[in-house]
Amino acid sequence: MSDDAIKDVLKMIPYGFYSITSKSDDDVNAMVANWVTQISFEPRLVALGLQKSSHTRSVIEKGQVFAINLFTKEDSESMMPFTKGRSKNPEKMKDARFWDAPETGCPVIEGAAAYIEFKVAKIVDSGGDHDIIIGEPVGAQVLKAGDASQTLTLPDIGWSYAG
């Protein structure tokens, strides 16, 4: 525990660990993220928190599409090449193993258990250092059967991105 109870409680919220992929013209990118949640049943909508300065944020704004790649705990190594941002690893997509999702053309990372494709419904300026990208699903596929208990989370890899 720290002297900051709000931070302590925010770190107790369970967060998944996903690869967010994007495409705009010839620019494709993959990054890791954990602030993802469904926010509406009808229409089905998902919100994604992305740092305003991230390369993926700009690619999503230009291309108006993105995908969320989900991984199982046992397949966590498949997404590790995408943990460094473009500034630290500008060529990360050069040797990446992926294929284009059928509806959006966003990368589907080899080793993903499932993916879901989105068209951007809205980008909301949160007033903080991250924006909220709201997406409406346009396609998905389960590549490896499983359930939420098998989905990779931040604690599974010993990371924390909250507080």
What is the rounded distance in angstroms from the CA atom of residue 153 to the CA atom of residue 76?
A: 9
pLDDT > 70 in the chain, percent: 99
Distances (CA, A) of 2 to 9, 74, 95, 161: 10, 32, 41, 16
pLDDT tens profile 103-142: 999 999 999 999 999 999 999 999 999 999 999 999 999 9
Q: Structure tokens of 144?
A: 């490896």
Closest CA to 71 of 119, 11, 19: 19
pLDDT tens profile 31-67: 999 999 999 999 999 999 999 999 999 999 999 999 9
* Cα atoms in the 13 Å half-sphere on the side-chain side of 107: 28
Q: What residue spans define the domains of the chain?
A: 5-154
Distances (CA, A) of 126 to 50, 59, 77, 112, 136: 10, 18, 32, 30, 19
Query: What pLDDT sits at residue 87?
Result: 77
Tell me, which fold does domain 5-154 have in CATH? Pnp Oxidase; Chain A (2.30.110)
Look up the pTM and report it: 0.93
Query: What pLDDT sits at residue 80?
Result: 84
Query: What pLDDT sits at residue 161?
Result: 81
DSSP 8-state secondary structure symbol assigned to residue 87: T
pLDDT tops 90 at residue 162:
no
